[in-house]
Amino acid sequence: MTPRERVLTALSRRVPDCVPKTMSLCPSQLERFRQETSAEDPASYFGFEVRDVHPLPARPSGDLTPYRRGYPEGARVDEWGVGWAKGSEYHFERILHPLAGARSVQEIARYPLPDLAAEERFAGFAAAVTSLHEQGLAVVAHCTPLGGTVFWPAYKLRGMEALMMDMMTTPELAEALLDRVTEVSSRLAARLASFDIDVLWLADDFGTQRALMMRPALWRSWFKPRLQQVIDAARSARAGLLVAFHSDGKIDEIIPDLIDIGVDVLNPLQPEVTNIAAIKREYGGHLAFWGGVGTQTTLPFGSPTDVRQAVRELILAVGAGGGLLVAPTHLVEPEVPWENILALVQAVEDYGWYELG
């Protein structure tokens, strides 16, 4: 199989020749990779089967100056008007919310959101997709403005506490903001789906280490229909497109809802918060899985032997019958030993083959 065929087969819940794999490195780990290998690109070096393709940066659609008041000197401001102030640890940043002070639906309605489906953003996009396909690789496009699809963009504009308070006390404000963000993401999803991508990636973190951030009924009221709108927009442009959904944390209670709205692939399948073998048994007939190697436990704090054993057990439990792409459950952060990165990749190579025919 080509790498692309392998990914499409696995994510369609069928059995490929072997288990596909990927990972993303934080800036310090990327520098370490370059020092250790004298190579530039981890995906090419390790033989990852998937690549991301991104549109060009968006431009603000209006004057964001009034919303930047109070931002500290040196903070960068993105096309949404969200500020990012450098934090004290590694690559982490503090978020500055431009709609934190909004008090009316009118204030939210006139806030200048960017047009993420603007034609100028997609110059060269089709050619990039074609080039990767000619190399035999699978292509993922992200409908994740500000890191998420509906919840994340809204709370980064408003503030998480403020948004969740709005949902309970001034629902008209939450509705106005979430509806505007959903419309932006829906247009972007439809535009991305109009290209020959292989996977459309959606994301919103709804889980804590123990449970959802909100009652399941509240999630179903506020977020399920809006995510459904985004997926429907994509599928109206391209029926049958594979849709992946990312949420950190324990979200077991809404997995049936994600299936219901058309999600095909669930990420990241954190072993620290959920029984991943049980998830596979219960939902493997409807979902493929992407992830599974714990970045809170085994990868940073285990030995290479521990990493190899975790990968082997993951493949046996979740890769059985197909439906698995092995990856760390998060960006590989600075504390992960280089030897464990190598152990993960080698373990997939050693244990990920299927007996076909």
3-state SS class at 137: coil
Report whether 333 contacts 295 (CB < 8 A): yes
Q: For residue 298, what are its two tokens? A: 């085994």
Report how far residue 180's alpha carbon sits from residue 301's, in angstroms, rounded to the nearest whole number.
42
Report whether 143 contacts 234 (CB < 8 A): yes
Report whether 92 contacts 27 (CB < 8 A): no
What's the confidence (pLDDT) of residue 355? Answer: 79
Report whether 1 contacts 13 (CB < 8 A): no
What's the confidence (pLDDT) of residue 86? Answer: 86
Mean pLDDT of the chain: 96
Report how far residue 220's alpha carbon sits from residue 94's, in angstroms, rounded to the nearest whole number.
29
What's the confidence (pLDDT) of residue 357? Answer: 54
Query: Residue 36: how many CB atoms within 10 A of its CB?
Result: 12
What sign results for the dihedral spanned by CA atoms 249, 254, 256, 261? negative
Enumerate helices (H) and strands (E) in the chain, giving the number of each: 15, 10
Q: For residue 34, what are its two tokens? A: 């370059």
Identity (one letter) of the amino acid at 140?
A: V
Report how far residue 189's alpha carbon sits from residue 179's, in angstroms, rounded to the nearest whole number.
15
What's the confidence (pLDDT) of residue 90? Answer: 65
Report whether 16 contacts 1 (CB < 8 A): yes
In angstroms, how far is the first alpha carbon of the chain from the final one?
14
In the DSSP assignment, the letter for residue 139 is E
Paired with 139 in beta bridges are 51
What's the confidence (pLDDT) of residue 141? Answer: 98
Report how far residue 216's alpha carbon sits from residue 253's, in angstroms, rounded to the nearest whole number.
7
Report whether 49 contacts 4 (CB < 8 A): yes
Q: For residue 248, what are its two tokens? A: 């950190």
Q: What is the β-pairing status of strands 93-96 and 242-246? A: unpaired
Q: Tokens 């299927």 label which residue?
A: 354
In the DSSP assignment, the letter for residue 253 is G
What's the confidence (pLDDT) of residue 216? Answer: 98
* 19: nearest Cα among 355, 346, 315: 315
Q: Which residues of the chain have pLDDT under 50?
A: none
Task: Please tell me the pTM assigned to this model.
Answer: 0.96
* 314: nearest Cα among 289, 341, 287: 289
Report how far residue 341's alpha carbon sits from residue 330's, in angstroms, rounded to the nearest whole number.
13
Q: Tokens 């200048």 label which residue?
A: 112
Farthest-apart Cα atoms in the chain, separation: 65
